[in-house]
Amino acid sequence: MRTKKRLNDHLNEQLVKFRIEIEAGEYIAPEKMHFSAFVEEWEKKYAVKHLEVTTLNTYKRCLKKRILPVFGSQRLDQIKPIHILNYLDTLEQDGSRMDGKQGNLSSGSVFMMYRILKNIFSRAVEWRIIKSNPVAQITRPKVQYKESRVYSEDQVHQLFEVLQKEPYHWRVMITLALTTGLRRGELLGLEWKNVDLNTGVIHVQQSITTFKDGEPIIKQPKTRKSFKEGSPTNISNSRIK
């Protein structure tokens, strides 16, 4: 941009892009954009392309149930950090649950609302609809994790005994869950080609976490550590009879 010619070339290039957006019906007018309208653009242009199906479904439920009723009619550029802060604060108050139970939302649910809002406003900044992300200036809500309750050794032994009376497929599935620590989606994604009965190992290479139009969505395991071609799960000590 150091010369007038380069500046003019850049401006002409942006003008061409602007005209293309208008003619294609993709131009978004910042001064008229309400939060609900931008969420529709966000879903079409970003969410369906970049979010996992389960994540997208969760986001859409939260938006419909809790976020859009509050921010939907507000102009995107007029939502400030204080509005986000006040909203998150109301979620932590008694009576914020919507399932008929007493108390407030869990810290995990509050964080989910923060996460969704931050994602949406981040896209608005990237697309130059607004200049700054109001959520980015809010301290991330703390999540209080509950201690996991696991079966004792005696309970596992009792479960194995009860399983012997159940159909074979349940005996296999539950035994693998107890002895390997595989996630539910990883268990559902197992195929015979992933199981080596000679060496007693399972190669975890895919996972099924949800279905779309009746068909399973197959993907790689959740983390890279889960996907290990050369470090399979040993099942030689499993009690499948």
pLDDT of residue 22: 53
Q: Residues in the chain, how many? A: 241
Q: Closest Cα to residue 124, out of 112, 136, 113, 114?
A: 136
Distance separating alpha carbons of residues 18 and 62, to the nearest angstrom: 33
Q: CA 89 → CA 61, 85, 111, 224, distances in Å?
A: 20, 6, 11, 36
Q: Which residues of the chain have pLDDT under 50?
A: 227-232, 236-241
- In this structure, the strands spanning 233-234 and 207-212 are unpaired
pLDDT at 28: 59
Q: How confident is the model at residue 120, as a pLDDT?
A: 97
Which pLDDT belongs to residue 182? 86
> Starting at the edge strand that comes first in sequence, how are the strands of the sheet with 195-196 ordered?
195-196, 201-202, 233-234
The C-alpha atoms of residue 177 and residue 158 are separated, in whole angstroms, by 15
Torsion from C-alpha of 20, 49, 29, 132, nearest 10 degrees: -120
Q: What phi, psi does 44 have (nearest 5°)?
A: -70, -45
> Which residue from 168, 201, 166, 208 is spatially nearest to 187, judged by alpha carbons?
208
pLDDT tens digits, 182-219: 888 888 888 889 888 888 888 888 888 777 777 777 77
CATH 1.10.150.130 corresponds to the domain 33-126: yes
Residue 213 CA to residue 216 CA, distance in Å, equals 8
What is the Cβ-side half-sphere exposure of residue 79, based on CA atoms within 13 angstroms? 34
Parse the chain into domains and list their residue ranges. 33-126, 153-234
Cα(55)–Cα(59) distance, rounded to whole angstroms? 6
pLDDT recorded at residue 19: 64
